[in-house]
Amino acid sequence: MKALRQLGFLKLSLRTDGPPEEDHRVLALFRNRAELKKAYGDLQEEIYRLQDLVKQQEGASQRSLGLLNTLEGRLGVAESAYPALVFYQLRRLWQAARDLITQFVSDLVRQQEERERREHLAHHNRRLFARRQTAATQLQAAQALAAQAAGEVAAFEAQRAGLTRLWHYFKRRALEQRVTTAHAAAAAAGSSLNQAQRAVEDLEREGTPQFPGLSLPARRAINIAAIAYAQVLCLRLVSMKTPLVQMARDATGRREAADNYGSPRECVLLMGQIQRAHVLLERRETLAAEIKARTGALTKGARYRGPGDTTPVPDSLNPATGDVLNEAARGADGTPLPNVLSEDTWDLFRILLR
């Protein structure tokens, strides 16, 4: 027993929970560890993604270098150099026509947006003016009603103040009800006045609504004009002896130059025709009249798949009998001019508005 009493000073703590501060630190450490693991995983995924992008870019660079080496080899030999020049000039002809239509659409969009933006602002101002007039009329009516109610309250209060005699008890009692009613009417009139004042202040703070963008009829009209311009460009190349439109399309769809453009002399002649084609495409003397004539015909026959579509159905734009677009091109193979929309001539679908 004495030995046990001597060991009594030993105190064994069997509690497992430490101070609250240590618990918070442990939880914070675990939370930080989890966040670090998540951040590390995100960084690893980003590294893998960037490595894939680097590999893709290296592959694209290798392919571009291979094309460049092939082109360099072709340009080093006269028999293959001339066809390569024709190939890239045909691609440039296609791109030039596409740029003309793109710029044409951009100009139309800018002009129409300015017009519709002004109309939108004018319509908003007219609506705002009408609303302000209505709010001002309501405010004047509320002010008059509040003034009238305040006058009645003041009159009743003055009348009640004069009824101080003992024999005025019944008159004063009857007047109390009228005073209470007048106070309620004045409070209602004040509330209406406050609402009218807030309505006027809200109108003063109201800004101009955001322009919603071109309307559906405007986008359809611009697309029709772009299709008409594409047809005009095709028509201008009809006078050429070579089907340059089809040749330019084929060249645009290939990555490497073809060798089917003939001998060097024939290639030189073809390049001369391509230069004349550029001159024809960029001629602007009668451009507006030509586009206007084709736009009217296209608008009459254009149909759309849905009420919100902006691009017409290609079959609805097929040239009618007797239309110059229905005549065969005056080329060696007599290929008829294409339906510029269905065949995506000059990359129309990338230009048209959605």
Number of structural domains the chain divides into: 3
Q: Which residue has the higher pLDDT, 95 or 160?
A: 95
* Mean pLDDT (whole number) for 52-62: 83
Q: Please tell me the chain's helix, strand, coil percentages from 3-state DSSP, rounded to the nearest 5.
A: 75, 0, 25
Contact yes or no for 337/230 (Cβ under 8 A): no
Q: Above 90 in pLDDT, residue 51?
A: no
Residue 3 inside a domain? The answer is no
pLDDT computed for residue 259 by the predictor:
74
Task: Clarify whether residues 236 and 327 are in a common domain.
Answer: yes
Structural domain span for residue 274: 77-121+213-351
Task: Clarify whether residues 259 and 343 are in a common domain.
Answer: yes
Domain final residue pick, 205, 227, 251: 205
pLDDT single digits (tens) 235-286: 888 877 788 888 899 888 887 777 788 888 888 899 999 999 999 999 988 8
Task: Clarify whether residues 228 and 301 are in a common domain.
Answer: yes
Task: Clarify whether residues 135 and 159 are in a common domain.
Answer: yes
Task: Clarify whether residues 59 and 98 are in a common domain.
Answer: no
Report the share of the chain in percent with pLDDT over 70.
82
Q: Which helix (H) or strand (E) element contains residue 320?
A: none
Task: Clarify whether residues 58 and 83 are in a common domain.
Answer: no
* Mean pLDDT (whole number) for 121-148: 83
Residue 13 inside a domain? The answer is no
Q: Which helix (H) or strand (E) element contains residue 1?
A: none
Task: Clarify whether residues 276 and 319 are in a common domain.
Answer: yes
Residue 9 inside a domain? The answer is no
pLDDT single digits (tens) 78-134: 667 888 888 889 999 999 999 999 999 999 999 999 999 999 888 888 888 888 888
Q: Which residue has the higher pLDDT, 130 or 75?
A: 130
The residue whose two tokens read 């919603």 is 212
Tally of CB atoms within 10 A around 237:
22
